[in-house]
């Protein structure tokens, strides 16, 4: 993605990431005991240690005073990323049609037939299903929807938090975006309810996100919530994308496991190469 779109167009920043740990368990000790082992595994790729232990310097509360720090993790502005990607594919002659629901897809030896919700049908030589968590309506593969709920604060003066942050085994994620905090997660509060493609927020998770903002992330800062939204991930029994031909002339690139921004471009490249 960085090669295709350019770091400036992504607003790419390499501020590192921080894993925060609860006061209520021994997970920090378990992880810190494994750091040298994990760093050794990653040494051939990064040529130096990826992970280290660092102290709480952001004023967070109700967590352990030490973090696990990843010096290489980056962050991007996904809105700029999508705008640049759309501009690029338009210049290449790709037509994008939005808000069209596909009802059915039937493959043939020499092509496939697509049926839209309004009954309109058309034939095409190849079909690539890349709707990730929404793809379960077409596929029998191990992929199911997982709703992710997010909120973002209004601008905060003198915000000193910089980087990407995870806690509760990665089920919560937050980062700075300009002078705001973007915060999402909480799917583990009710896994079954979040196995949905309904694009709505829930009071249970949104209230928990706000409570954690107040008690842990911004304990001494007045803030207001600006926007709330959801996105649908595609998950399965393992963290490995499914890139395959599912039937003659029908292919899929799905189950990105919540890592779509990071691995989506590579999955697309692999899928294109498979089709060609």
155 and 227 both lie in a single domain: yes
Pairwise CA distance, residues 132 & 274, whole Å: 18
Domain that holds residue 218: 151-159+167-231
Establish if 28 belongs to a structural domain. no
Establish if 70 belongs to a structural domain. no
219 and 260 both lie in a single domain: no
Establish if 270 belongs to a structural domain. yes
Distances (CA, A) of 210 to 151, 204, 213: 9, 10, 5
**Is the Cβ–Cβ distance between 22 and 63 less than 8 Å?**
yes
DSSP string spanning 16-72? -EEEE-BTTSSHHHHHHHHHHHHHHHHHHHHSS--EEEEE--S---SB-SEEEEETT
pLDDT value of position 10: 97
For strands 66-70 and 111-116, give the pairing.
unpaired
245 and 137 both lie in a single domain: yes
202 and 268 both lie in a single domain: no
DSSP-derived 3-state class of residue 273: helix
225 and 200 both lie in a single domain: yes
pLDDT value of position 25: 87
Establish if 216 belongs to a structural domain. yes
- The neighbour count for residue 17, using CB atoms within 10 Å, is 21
CA-based radius of gyration for the chain: 21
pTM: 0.89
Looking up residue 119, the CATH number of its domain turns out to be 3.50.50.60
* Number of domains present in the structure of the chain: 2
Per-residue pLDDT of the chain (276 residues; tens, 9 = 90+): 999 999 999 999 999 999 999 998 899 999 999 999 999 999 999 999 999 999 988 999 999 999 999 999 999 999 999 999 999 999 999 999 998 999 999 998 899 999 999 999 999 999 999 999 999 888 999 999 999 999 999 999 999 999 999 999 999 999 999 899 999 999 999 999 999 999 999 999 999 999 999 999 999 999 999 999 999 999 999 989 999 999 999 999 999 999 999 999 999 999 999 999
155 and 214 both lie in a single domain: yes
209 and 155 both lie in a single domain: yes
Sheet holding 111-116, edge to edge: 102-108, 111-116, 121-124
129 and 243 both lie in a single domain: yes
Establish if 254 belongs to a structural domain. yes
pLDDT value of position 136: 87
């Amino acid at each position: 993605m960085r090669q295709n779109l350019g770091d400036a167009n992504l607003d790419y920043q390499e501020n590192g990431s921080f894993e925060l740990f609860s006061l209520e368990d021994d997970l920090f000790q378990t992880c810190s005991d494994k750091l040298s082992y994990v760093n050794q595994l990653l040494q051939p790729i990064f040529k130096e240690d990826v992970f280290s232990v660092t102290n709480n310097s952001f004023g967070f509360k109700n967590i352990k005073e030490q973090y696990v720090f990843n010096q290489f993790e980056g962050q991007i502005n996904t809105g700029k990323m999508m705008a640049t990607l759309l501009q690029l594919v338009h210049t290449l002659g790709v037509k994008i049609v939005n808000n069209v629901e596909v009802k059915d897809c039937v493959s043939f030896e020499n092509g496939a037939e697509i049926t839209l919700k309004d009954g309109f049908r058309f034939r095409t030589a190849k079909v690539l299903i890349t709707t990730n968590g929404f793809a379960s309506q077409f596929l029998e593969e191990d992929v199911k929807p997982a709703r992710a709920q997010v909120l973002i604060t209004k601008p905060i003066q003198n915000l000193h938090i910089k980087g990407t942050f995870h806690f509760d085994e990665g089920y919560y994620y937050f980062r700075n975006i300009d002078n705001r905090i973007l915060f999402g997660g909480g799917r583990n509060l009710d896994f079954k309810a979040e196995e949905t493609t309904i694009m709505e927020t829930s009071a249970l998770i949104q209230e928990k996100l706000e409570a954690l903002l107040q008690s842990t992330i911004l304990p001494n800062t007045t803030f207001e919530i600006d926007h709330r939204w959801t996105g649908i991930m595609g998950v399965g029994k393992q963290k490995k994308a499914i890139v395959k031909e599912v039937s003659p002339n029908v292919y899929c690139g799905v189950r990105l496991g919540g890592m779509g921004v990071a691995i989506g471009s590579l999955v697309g490249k692999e899928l294109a190469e498979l089709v060609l």
